[in-house]
Structure 1
Amino acid sequence: MDCYSLRYLRFRIGGKYLTERHLFLKKDPSKENSIIVSNIPSFVGEDVILAIINQFAPFEVEESFTQRSNASDNSLSQGQLTMSITFLKPEAVIQSLALCQDVGPFTITDFLEEPEFPSVLNDCTALYGKLFPSEEQIQEMADTYVERYDAEQAEARKEAKRKYSEPDEDGWITVTKAKKAAKSMKLKKEDVPLIGGLSGKKKKVDLAYYTFQIKKNRQEKAQELLKKFEEDRKRITQLKQARNFKPM
């Protein structure tokens, strides 16, 4: 028997899936006491493969791991897998390859308590639920976003307030009036306690001055209107005398 030639091992999924399938085995030329098993359904798992091989080659396994997947994205949860099995004794490789085609088919469900088979319907349902969340999920996502946004804004205001109360490299602190977009002014750190005395006294405005100014403006406007009226009256008189009066 050529240990490096490709051998097969028959199996079935079980339940309503009774079609006979094949695992492919051969000796691993790059590693001592090792075999390579390929065409493993991704939902089966390493433990099931080891349990099946143990049925006809009961040898102690030193190491086993999944090498790769034939899925387009190399995902180990999809497609068909290839795994490597290393035994402690070299005769395990010979016996497993010599007997694999004479046994079986093994049933996968005999080695799994609650197998989860891949289903297009389940995949489509899960994808639909991801793309179109329910009203409760949308509300939960909205509440989470609002809470996170409020927390970020509160933290930003807190950080801005902290920066305004700390002196810069030159020892100055930027001070602005509250509730007004005023020009910023700089004070020395030792002058900060005196901020309350910076606001100047409000000037007292004489209301009589404004009353007089309003009255004066009205008189000037009335005189301008009267002057314009006299100019228009003289122009109309001149047009009448020239007999070129065209009111329209």
Structure 2
Amino acid sequence: MAASKKQHATNQACVIPGGFTVLSLKFCSSSVAQHKLYVKEHKVRDEKSSYRPLDRTLFVLNVPPYCSEEVIKRLFSQFGNVNSVELRDQPGSTQHHGPKLSSVFKPPEKLGFRVGYIVFENPSSVKVAKSHPPSEPLVVSTEEHPVKTGIQTRPTKQIVNSFMEDYDKRKEEEAEQQRKEEEQQQEDEDGWVKVTRGHKGAKARPHSETANQRTLAKEMKKKKKKELMNFYTWQHRNTQKEHIAELRKKFEEDKQRIALLRAQRKFKPY
């Protein structure tokens, strides 16, 4: 008789001070540790919003970081149809102050325990969720709906191998293309070179000894012409300097002559 009373007691909902009901949560069915959620019917008179109806909204505390809005909606769907789920860092109004930012400027989500607002389709679902016994924990990750946690690593080895294979293949194709171009540009018996247009971005040039000597002679001619132009520029600059010096010297002599003439006019022998 005592055992039956004890079993009946564990199947009842656990209500703590503040009106919150305790719900047990397990990450997977094989987990030994359990997490506690604290739920309560949302009754805030100051908040007049159609997003959180007072008779159909369940307020949830201590939501772990690995529970997203999709996970919470799936867990509480067993109590009734869920219209919406909202997770926040702290309790507050649904009205956002300030300008609405784009998703590009959205700040990153904080990884911590959060609070949630679950809106059911029927008011009776709130009562069913509050009467759920803590001896029957809610399971987060199942075979049908697995939940990934921790740092998700990418298959680095496969990516590196794939990149190296593509790189080797591209290098082989470039070497084969260059070999074909060199074969096409070989001199024939008369010394003629067939110049062909290579692949996009490459300049087709003959690689014969005659063409190399012709190019070298052209470069030397350009260099000598440049040196000659520089020499003439230096000579022209010196000529200008000498001309300016002669003009200054003539100016000084003219000044002395004018001063002498003025002095002779002022002299009166009688």
Higher strand share: 1
Question: Which structure would you say has the larger RCO, counting Cα contacts within 8 Å and 6 or more residues apart?
Answer: 2
Using structure 2 for the length normalisation, give the TM-score.
0.37
